Structure 1
Amino acid sequence: MKAAVLRAVGQPLSIEDVEIGLPGPREVLIRTSAVGVCHSDLHFIEGSYKTALPTVLGHEAAGIVEKVGSEVRTVKVGDHVVTCLSAYCGHCEYCLTGHMSLCPSPDTQRGKDEPPRLAQPDGGSMTQYLNLSAFAEHMLVHEHACTAIRKDMPLDRAALIGCAVTTGIGAVTHTANVRPGETVTVIGCGGVGLATLNGALIAGAGRIIAIDRQPSKLEMARVFGATDVIDASEGDVAKRVRELTGGGVHHAFECIGLKATAEDAFKMLRRGGAATIIGMIPPGVKVELSGVDFLSEKKMQGSFMGSNRFPVDMPRYVDFYMQGRLKLDEMVSARLPLERVNDAFEEMKRGEVARSMIVFDA
């Protein structure tokens, strides 16, 4: 199959032939239909996060099941599915207490004594990225790394649910538990930030403030639910949020992954407020907070993949889209073939797009 391979940090992805195995007892072979180009992948290309190389990147995907293993019970051949990188085992402490996105079990991966799911044509090793490796014509995954959805859902929009939507809406509804009428700020209006704004709207937040440096993204933010926008290039955003809200917000969501914006999220809280960090802050970076603010019961917390229960959440998000409550059409900036995946990352670095989609021929 054709796949986009990362062979060295800082280098463009190369389109290569990659070998893919047959499904094991609890595995599923999926023909990829669409993959979102997410900033998380760029972190690995640029080396701020590490993974074994070579590897096939891509993790925000949807497709159609072509083969299933002998023990698979959750999907069947012909099902339309959305994938999720937070594969879960279903029997560890995290899974059994409802924290499936935190599952650390190796049971969803192949053991060292088993052949790898992916390999180079000459037999060399090829790492599977985040349980998926979606920039490829096919994916071979554990059955608990995908979930079936209704077949009238367009797959190029369904792919967005696999990361941006699940991460953004889940952070609002699961991690932060935003209540109707509460005030919200969202820092960073890329794909995840837009989904966070949309999630705040669905959750019934009262005032929803979007913060970004790009005027075009701030205009897009209004479409996704922002009641107010702040241009971050104009200075002290935390002070402006406090002035705008008469003391600060109940919830601040950081969707970029920077030290400065994480600290700003905490500074713009009202007493008792919570800052939720969604962005991937690079390893080794320290975030500094004012200790006295903890006496006001302010909180900072992380959110991984929206604290999801994705087999339940994703079909619901699909229904939201079909009802017109979840905005996905507006999020897609471009649809490109696999051969142009590097162009998509260049556009992302220039801040020109909300989400580019890699699409495959049916």
Structure 2
Amino acid sequence: MAVTARAAVLTQMGSQTPYADSRPLTIREVTLDEPGRGEVRVGIKAAGLCHSDLSVINGDRPRPMPMALGHEAAGVVEAIGEDVTDLEVGDHVVMVFMPSCGHCVPCAEGRPALCEKGAAANGEGRLLSGRRAFVCEDGEVLHHHLGCSAFATRAVVSRRSLIKIDKDLPFEHAALFGCAVLTGVGAVVNTAGLKAGQSAVVIGLGGVGLAAVLGALACGASPVIAVDLNPDKLALAATLGAVHTINAADPDAIEQVKALTGGGADFAFEMAGSARALEAAWKMTRRGGTTVTAGLPPPEAALAVNIVSLVAEERTLKGSYIGTCVPSRDIPRFIRLFKDGRLPVDRLLSGTLTLDQINPAFDALADGMAVRQIIRF
């Protein structure tokens, strides 16, 4: 039997700020189909606001409309579909925004973040099965956001979008592991393979960037340098353990990093989603070093790289999607680090809110005033 939910629905991209006035997201009553083969219905308990959501609202990341937005969440299994044998009603789960089919070439190579079928389904706004499970009260069918649509009281998702977690982890903390932690910590641990004693600079101190700072510290990087335009975020990075903080607006920011690292960082992580920030990260990287980007700027953004430097200095430029993670392996690992006190991701929380407060909350995110705001259901 179908059930109902309240969901934040985006019908048109490109609304003007402030969103508190333009209200791009409307809270609508929706009906959910029963979970089909390989699918699960989740009662969502906490969901984080991320720049990947904002980039759909402002049109930087075009998606099919109308869409039930949200992709970083944790909740409780309410119902399971056919062929789901490893989850039970009442289990606690974290959502992952790239479902993996397990059969395509990237999946077979152990790179589920690059799943071909998952990428196609996400781009089309459908579940991994190819269907859409949300229907509005007027009969309009909604697209899914990254297979999750987490700004809702409940959602139907692919089993392959879920990771089971221990029930003692608070939902507002658990939600962070589905995006901010996977992407930020994963970029350091998996994409870069940073080793103890190597230097790291992180540009862009949103949820993902600060998670990268935490990941670099957990790996024993030295020094860890944090770069951002917002003094409050720089102060937070310092309290987390970043040894040096630099305002990105300083005209000598690049030279400061070079001076602190003896010519450039071993690893520079661009987490701002800006071509200008990536250019700065490239210039902050030493000869023989690696520049990693996990930011998602508008599709037309481009970077000009000096090919001679790339070759003669043996430089590396790497993209990182979902932190090159294997979620079923990495989420439990990162949670253990959190419980051991070595990855204090709870420090990234800027506050909690209700679903009805979602539009002004995106103003705070767009203005750089918040790191991770969590909707509690």
TM-score range, shorter chain: over 0.9
- CA contact 2:6–2:29 (8 Å) conserved in 1: yes
Measured on the aligned residues, the alpha-carbon RMSD in Å equals 1.2
Matches within 5 A, 1:178-193: 178-193=194-209
- CA contact 1:75–1:147 (8 Å) conserved in 2: no
Q: TM-score if structure 2 supplies the norm length? A: 0.92
Which one of the candidate residues 76, 81, 98 is aligned to 1:86? 98
Alpha-carbon distance in structure 1 between the residues aligned to 2:98 and 2:197: 31
Matches within 5 A, 1:157-196: 157-196=173-212
Q: State the shift of 1:329 in Å.
A: 2.2
Partner amino acid for 1:7?
Answer: T
Q: State the shift of 1:231 in Å.
A: 1.1
Q: Which runs of 4+ in 1 moved over 3 A?
A: none
Matches within 5 A, 1:172-321: 172-294=188-310, 295-321=312-338
Q: What is the aligned partner in structure 2 of residue 23 from structure 1?
A: 35
Q: What is the aligned partner in structure 2 of residue 330 from structure 1?
A: 347
Q: Does 2:132 match 1:109? A: no
Identity of aligned residues (%): 41
Structure 1: gaps of 5 or more residues? none
- CA contact 1:65–1:80 (8 Å) conserved in 2: yes
Alpha-carbon distance in structure 2 between the residues aligned to 1:18 and 1:145: 21
Alpha-carbon distance in structure 2 between the residues aligned to 1:313 and 1:15: 33
Q: State the shift of 1:234 in Å.
A: 1.7
Cα deviations by residue, 1:177-235 (Å, 9 ceiling, x for unpaired): 10111000000111111100000011111210000111110111023331111111221
- CA contact 1:150–1:315 (8 Å) conserved in 2: no
- CA contact 1:332–1:354 (8 Å) conserved in 2: yes
Matches within 5 A, 1:12-161: 12-105=24-117, 109-111=128-130, 116-161=132-177
- CA contact 1:185–1:249 (8 Å) conserved in 2: yes
- CA contact 2:99–2:128 (8 Å) conserved in 1: no
Name the SS of the counterpart of 2:179 in structure 1.
helix
Alpha-carbon distance in structure 1 between the residues aligned to 2:90 and 2:141: 30
- CA contact 2:272–2:295 (8 Å) conserved in 1: yes
Q: What is the aligned partner in structure 2 of residue 352 from structure 1?
A: 369
Structure 2: gaps of 5 or more residues? 16-23, 122-126
After the TM superposition, which of the residue ranges 138-147 and 224-233 deviates more from structure 2? 224-233
Q: State the shift of 1:123 in Å.
A: 2.0
Partner amino acid for 1:109?
Answer: L
Q: State the shift of 1:73 in Å.
A: 2.6
- CA contact 1:99–1:307 (8 Å) conserved in 2: yes
Q: State the shift of 1:70 in Å.
A: 2.0
Alpha-carbon distance in structure 2 between the residues aligned to 1:217 and 1:165: 17
Alpha-carbon distance in structure 1 between the residues aligned to 2:108 and 2:239: 38
Name the SS of the counterpart of 2:305 in structure 1.
coil
Alpha-carbon distance in structure 1 between the residues aligned to 2:254 and 2:296: 20
Q: State the shift of 1:351 in Å.
A: 1.3
Partner amino acid for 2:128?
Answer: Q
Partner amino acid for 1:121?
Answer: E
Partner amino acid for 2:330?
Answer: D
Q: What is the aligned partner in structure 2 of residue 9 from structure 1?
A: 13
- CA contact 1:74–1:143 (8 Å) conserved in 2: no
- CA contact 1:211–1:231 (8 Å) conserved in 2: yes
Cα 1:290–1:239 shift into 2, 3 Å: farther
- CA contact 1:188–1:256 (8 Å) conserved in 2: yes
Q: State the shift of 1:7 in Å.
A: 0.7
Cα deviations by residue, 1:60-93 (Å, 9 ceiling, x for unpaired): 0000001111201332211100000111011221
